[in-house]
A and B are shown apart, each in its own frame.
Chain A
Amino acid sequence: MATLERSGAPAFNRFFAALVPLACGILGVVIANIPISFLGGAVPPPLLGLVPVYFWCLVRPDLMTPAAALAVGLSEDIMSGSPPGVWTLAFVLTYALVARQRDSFAGLSGVAAVVGFGTAACVACASAYFTIAALYWHFPPVAPILSELAMTVLFYVPTAYVVGIIHHRLVGASRGDI
């Protein structure tokens, strides 16, 4: 299927396509934060909202803007019940890192791509951890945040696959890059 932009779709469709990355980020946050815990809550849910932020920050930074990353992080804060601003700051800082090193991250493929995302997720989790430590004035246990990092990296490949399909079908490459 040709993308909406390539097929010369009207402006309305382009506007719709521009909202897809943000919508996917918020949808990932909602899915990850449904309060249903498998395995008796032994493992935390992954940061599914981070995958669209990372992905479109690399391939379409004109659609995944800093404000969009802020919105996805804000929705993560609201849905997860964590102290306000913790994940917002973590997502924005991760976005800043990926945006700065876009060429390095975008050149990765295969296992290296997973490692690249793992680095970004590590920055997000570390930011959240140290923000919490600063807010509560003591370091919380490391194991839960490491579990969340591991789950996020584990779910990256299937989530990135779905996001890639959505990108191909609904968003497409930037007009200037075709």
Chain B
Amino acid sequence: MANAWKIARKSNAQLPLVIVIALAVVLVLLGKAQPALFDHARARITDMMAPALEVARAPVRGFDRFIGSITEIFSVYEQNLQLKEENARLRQWRNVATVLQTRVTRYQALLHAVPDPKLNAVLARVIGRASRPFLQTMVLDAGRQDKAMPGQAVVDARGMIGRIYLTGQRTSSVILLTDLNSRIPVTIASAAGKSGSIQAMMTGDNTAMPVLDIVSRQETLSSGDQVVSSGDGGLLPAGLPIGTVVDDGNGGWRVSLLADATSSLDVEILNFSQPPEALPSTAQLPAEAAGLKPVPPPPPSLTPAPVTSAAAPAPVPGTAKPVVTPKPAPPAASAPAEQDD
């Protein structure tokens, strides 16, 4: 092929090759020191491409659906039977979950448990996907103007997909759980009913199932154990469903993810803002509640004078009267109703 062209015999390069190679090596080292070197440019480019991506999204989705249906059309009957069976089983589990949720709520009220952090969510559409050898990412149509921030978790209806690592004005890039750079602290709950949970680190390696690195080598796992986010470090909310443990056949463990990032169309960006935990009031301290010795009142800047809230949970018989830290005063009209409860 190249014989068809006139071949130039010499190059008029302004920069010698050695200098260019040295520049490239310096760039690699600079990128190692500052991984966010190109982030601003990437965010701007993604923002500019967003309208075109949204236009191209529909035909691409149709094409993907068509390709996927070619293989599925031969197994529709078996899939239907499996889905009916699974649906029946899930209905049973839903009833169990409802009962357990009610019980947990009651226990939390009795124990004055610190409430779970508030989670706001932004609904976003997937407008792009990229599966590169060293990066697996998706592009969402929500950015800084929608209060999407780097580090926030992205979930679909089935479980966690990944985290936002780059936000533009109107778009965000999500690093998937399977990506080489993804590391998520997780908690593994035994499916066999064993008590306790195991802490581990889930590490992506660009395969479909991330690797589990167990913190304690004495713990043993079994296939089918449930994997959820642990919330360690305060970056992600605890308890986000991620997947189930599977044996990789080489003595290690991997996670079969619940969410399928290749087919998700609409996702939620969870705005996880962990509220600062308030200091317990003096009457809630164990020694004080047992009547051992009086404790001087804390400085007003740390713990304001305790007042009895109308929204406080019902007192537990045999304990001191519960006193909670002040909250914003409820509207006058709603107070009697809460007291009636």
Interface residues of chain A, those whose CB is within 8 Å of chain B, are: 33-45, 58-62, 65-67, 69-70, 73-74, 77-86, 88-89, 92-93, 95-96, 99, 102, 105-110, 113, 125, 128-129, 131-132, 135-136, 140-141, 144-145, 147-148, 160, 164, 167, 173-174, 176-178
Contact = CB atoms under 8 A, between A and B. Distances in A.
B17 A66 contact: yes
Contacts of A160: 1
Interface string B155-184: 000000000000000000100000010000
Interface in B98-151: 127-139
Considering residues A33, A82, A109, which has the most beta carbons from chain B within 10 angstroms of its beta carbon? A82
A123 B5 CA distance: 24
9 contacts: A35-B138, A58-B2, A58-B7, A78-B41, A86-B134, A135-B32, A140-B134, A144-B132, A164-B5
Contact of A36 (B13, B20, B60): B60
Contacts of A99: 11, 17
A109 B3 contact: yes
B8 to A, nearest CB: 4
B15 A67 contact: yes
Contacts, number: 214
B100 to A, nearest CB: 36
How would you classify the secondary structure of chain A's contact residues: helix, strand, loop or mixed? helix
B27 interface: yes
Nearest to B67: A39
Contacts of A95: 17
B205 A140 contact: yes
Interface of B: 1-17, 19-21, 23-32, 34-35, 37-38, 41-42, 45-46, 49, 53, 56-57, 60, 63-64, 67-68, 127-139, 173, 180, 205-207, 262-263
Contacts of B49: 34-35
Nearest to B166: A81
Contacts of B206: 140-141, 144
Contacts of B20: 66-67, 69-70, 92
A57 to B, nearest CB: 9
Contacts of A39: 64, 67
Contact of B13 (A61, A82, A140, A145): A61
Given A61-B10, A62-B8, A40 B173 contact: no
